[in-house]
Amino acid sequence: MEMIDSEIVIVGAGISGLATSLGLHRLGVKSVVLEASDQLRTTGFALTILGNAWRALDALGVSEPLRQRHVQLLEFVATSLTSGQITAEKPLNAPGKHGEQEIRCLNRTVLLEALAKELPPGTIRYSSKLVHFEDSGNYKLVHLADGTIVKAKILVGCDGVNSVVAKWLGLGKAAYTGRSALRGFVSFENEHGYGQKFLQYFGEGVRAGILPCDEKSAYWFVTYSPSTETAGMEQDPTRMKQYVTDKLRKIDENMKPAIHNTSSETVFSSPLRYRRPWEFLTRSISKGNVCVAGDAFHPMTPDIGQGGCSALEDAVVLARCIAQALSETGMEEHKRIEMGLAKYARERKWRGFLLVSTAYVVGWVQVGNWKVTRFFRDKFLSPYLADLLLKISEFDCGKLTVL
């Protein structure tokens, strides 16, 4: 049995885990990241990165290489699946509180590799699956599946929707929304022709969209409510692609070639889950020297594109709070750590509540198939939803500095 001492242990090498470790590294604090798989996880293929996330990436020092590899989206175009008519056209680079708005669709692997590349060698320990952890004085003993025990001053759970750490903190299991999402990533031999537009389609019980990542690749998605029609479809990419094509029969030809040219290996389906909003008001995401970030903290639906963005916000705020706690004097270290994590929890509580609640409501409105919902969405809400996407991304998580 191997015993390892580590000041800070982060469970999960996803976006929040790697970004938190990098934020700590920038502030001179060492950490170890435990990843259950034998390599970086690439589930999801791509994600939307809005202004709030770009400010976090700026703080982490990895934004410029990512900008160079992904096109900026300049226009939002919404189309009704009921009428086939365009219901909203909005610029996505309008001036905001922090300058020009910025939205890009990032290849998930490229983002994870950019974060991992900046970490010191040996920071990420692959094939290190958390089984359970226990108290040992002011430390946590983290037991791994291979028998290794890691002794940690601070334990951060970035272990996703089914987080072991969140469960220990008393947070409930992420609730099923009643919807699922199909996602695909496609690469063309030549330029795809989508330009710099974010195309979305609403109604008929689904929400769909396509976002270019660069000149030759694009990411598409469809959220839907499972039924007897979709039973067993998740295991059959051909059926999934046909389902999408049938559902989007009233749209223009933009998405059809993307769906047709997507290989089965880059199509997947998953249920959409979220943290019940009242948990943010009744429970805490920190306890003693343990806390959570990312999807372990605030699983949400993808309807406002803030899942990955808010995980990057978490990372900057958490790294700053931990570094501040470790640098102070005049109080026992374990007390400073507890106060530092509690400060992080207070700072992120209402932001998490806002994002999860907003995403859930927006998703409900966008896919609603009732006559009244369709009327107001198509006539009034589509332009408002585009504005909301930008407004909610005005948040600034701040710099990586310790006062």
Convert the pLDDT of each residue in 113-131 to its tens digit.
999 999 999 999 999 999 9
pLDDT at residue 175, rounded to an integer: 95
Specify whether the CB–CB gap between 268 and 221 falls below 8 A: no
In the predicted model, is pLDDT for residue 250 greater than 70? no
Q: State whether the Cα torsion 296-302-303-308 is positive or negative.
A: positive
In the predicted model, is pLDDT for residue 372 greater than 70? no
Q: Is the pTM of this model over 0.85?
A: yes
Distance (Å, whole) CA 203 – CA 79: 9
In the predicted model, is pLDDT for residue 251 greater than 70? no
Q: Grade residue 211 by pLDDT with cuts at 50, 70 and 90.
A: very high
Specify whether the CB–CB gap between 171 and 295 falls below 8 A: no
pLDDT at residue 318, rounded to an integer: 98
Specify whether the CB–CB gap between 33 and 13 falls below 8 A: yes
Token pair recorded at residue 262 = 């997507």
Over range 12-18, report the average pLDDT: 97
CA 232 to chain centre: 26
Average pLDDT score, the chain? 89
Residue 212 is assigned to a structural domain of this protein? no
CA-to-CA dists, residue 380 to 14, 75, 90, 359, 384, angstroms: 37, 18, 14, 18, 7
Residue 344 is assigned to a structural domain of this protein? yes
Residue 110 is assigned to a structural domain of this protein? yes
Beta strand residue intervals within 70-225, DSSP E: 75-80, 86-91, 95-96, 99-100, 104-107, 124-125, 130-136, 139-144, 149-157, 175-187, 197-203, 206-212, 217-224
In the predicted model, is pLDDT for residue 159 greater than 80? yes
pLDDT at residue 241, rounded to an integer: 75
pLDDT at residue 269, rounded to an integer: 83
Over range 73-90, report the average pLDDT: 85
Over range 99-105, report the average pLDDT: 93
Indicate which CATH number applies to the domain containing 280: 3.50.50.60
Q: Which domain holds residue 300?
A: 3-71+105-173+275-393
Residue 336 is assigned to a structural domain of this protein? yes
Instruction: Please tell me which residue, 193 or 370, carries the higher pLDDT value.
Output: 193
pLDDT at residue 5, rounded to an integer: 75
In the predicted model, is pLDDT for residue 282 greater than 70? yes
Distance (Å, whole) CA 218 – CA 198: 10
Helix 15-26 / helix 108-117 crossing angle, nearest 10 deg: 30
Residue 9 is assigned to a structural domain of this protein? yes
pLDDT at residue 379, rounded to an integer: 63
Indicate the Cα dihedral angle 86, 243, 210, 276, nearest 10°: 100
pLDDT at residue 376, rounded to an integer: 63
Least confident of 160-169, 247-256, 372-381: 372-381
Residue 258 is assigned to a structural domain of this protein? no
What burial letters (b/e) apply to 278-291, b meaning 16+ CB within 10 Å?
ebbeebbbbbbbbb
pLDDT at residue 377, rounded to an integer: 62
Residue 146 is assigned to a structural domain of this protein? yes
Q: Grade residue 207 by pLDDT with cuts at 50, 70 and 90.
A: confident
Domain tally, the chain: 1
Closest to 269 in 3D by CA, of 294, 295, 234: 234
Distance (Å, whole) CA 395 – CA 52: 5
Please report, rounded to a whole number, the percentage of residues in the chain having pLDDT higher than 90: 63
Instruction: Please tell me which residue, 55 or 44, carries the higher pLDDT value.
Output: 55
pLDDT at residue 1, rounded to an integer: 59
Residue 288 is assigned to a structural domain of this protein? yes
In the predicted model, is pLDDT for residue 47 greater than 60? yes
In the predicted model, is pLDDT for residue 7 greater than 90? no
